[in-house]
């Protein structure tokens, strides 16, 4: 079966096209990502901006054309924090069906966490407990599980776009601004964890743009290479050093740092602050970066007969 998954997030819009055989083995045919910042302004205004929706529609147009080109059996468009939080989110979700012919699925925080965990742990042979950290544009998911089974999850109102817009008003950020962001990140995560949560010895897996960009910086990549990023281990001390350096640079200089994609330079500082807050809450000294995330989890779900999606339009 050939499936297509569009992930319309708060900061980026991504595509995965994959072939999945009868035994659930996945072969990736195409993967794309564009920073569209659909969630810009949602934290302050409560709605999706017209310009942000237009930018996202243009990218989804291209993704639909690519899916028509290769031929898709099932397709779905996932939508997360920005869409579920916005007053016009439902209308935007329906626009994806009407304009592009792709079934929309606005995920709850729980669904987002479970799909992320399924993707991040697919194909692994982990016997111990795993913590998956997904720092997104408008929310951060924290999921603990073992051998494919989720034992704890939380979806927090903590994201690189949300907190970046809320606190970082200067370029580069003023020390007091970043300190306030860090304090809120710590408080939000602490409030999301029950007091009686048992914290076993966890292996941390970090997915999404903050972790992959940090790995690219650590590796000194001139051109992004997912095969080198996937599985790269980031030490807490490395993340602290990156944050200490990048926080002092204006945006134009951050865009020139090796490993940082220019489109992600705006959110790398709040992203690192949030990732470190999550690691500290679970007493992690390192995380393994994974390219496998919610896209993979949703693709595997689409291959199941009960998957809530419909056939994508054919050219």
Token pair in block for residue 137: 């544009």
Domains of the chain from N-terminus onward: 2-108+295-302 (3.30.420.40), 123-291 (3.30.420.150)
| Contact partners, residue 281, CB within 8 Å, separation at least 6 | 186, 189, 190, 193
Query: Which tokens is 99 given?
Result: 């304009």
**Cα–Cα dist 17/31, whole Å:** 6
Tens digits of per-residue pLDDT, 81-126? 889 889 999 999 999 999 999 999 999 888 888 888 888 888 776 6
Q: How many residues are recorded in the chain?
A: 315
* The residue to which tokens 């099932």 are assigned: 74
pLDDT band with cut points at 50, 70 and 90 for residue 22: confident
Instruction: Please check whether residue 76 is in contact with residue 299, taking contact to mean a CB–CB distance below 8 angstroms.
Output: no
pTM of the model: 0.87
Query: What is the phi/psi pair of residue 178, to 5°?
Result: -65, -40
The pLDDT of residue 78 is above 60: yes
């Amino acid at each position: 079966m050939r499936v297509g998954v569009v992930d319309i997030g708060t900061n980026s819009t991504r595509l995965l096209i994959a072939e999945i055989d009868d035994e659930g083995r996945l072969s990736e045919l195409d993967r794309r990502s564009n920073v569209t910042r659909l969630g810009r302004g949602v934290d302050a205004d409560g709605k999706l901006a017209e310009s942000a929706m237009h930018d996202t529609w243009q990218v989804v147009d291209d993704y639909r054309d690519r899916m028509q080109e290769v031929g898709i059996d099932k397709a779905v468009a996932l939508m997360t924090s920005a869409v579920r939080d916005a007053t016009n989110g439902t209308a935007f979700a329906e626009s994806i069906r009407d304009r592009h012919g792709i079934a929309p699925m606005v995920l709850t925080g729980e669904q987002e966490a479970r799909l992320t965990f399924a993707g991040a742990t697919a194909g692994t042979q982990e016997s111990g407990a795993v913590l998956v950290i997904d720092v997104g544009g408008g929310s951060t998911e924290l999921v603990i599980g073992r051998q494919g089974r989720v034992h704890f999850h939380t979806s927090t109102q903590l994201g690189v776009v949300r907190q970046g817009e809320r606190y970082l008003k200067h370029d580069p950020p003023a020390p007091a601004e970043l300190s306030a962001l860090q304090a809120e990140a710590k408080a939000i995560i602490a409030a999301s964890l029950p007091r009686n949560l048992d914290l076993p010895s966890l292996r941390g897996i970090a997915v999404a743009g903050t972790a992959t960009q940090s790995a690219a910086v650590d590796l000194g990549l001139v051109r992004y290479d997912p095969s080198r990023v996937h599985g790269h281990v980031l030490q807490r001390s490395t993340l602290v050093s990156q944050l200490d350096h990048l926080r002092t640079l204006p945006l134009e200089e951050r865009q020139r740092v090796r490993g940082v994609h220019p489109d992600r330079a705006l959110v790398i500082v709040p992203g690192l602050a949030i990732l470190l807050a999550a690691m500290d809450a679970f007493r992690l000294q390192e995380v393994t970066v994974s390219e496998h995330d919610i896209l993979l989890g949703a693709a595997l779900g689409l291959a199941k007969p009960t998957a809530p999606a419909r056939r994508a339009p054919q050219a």
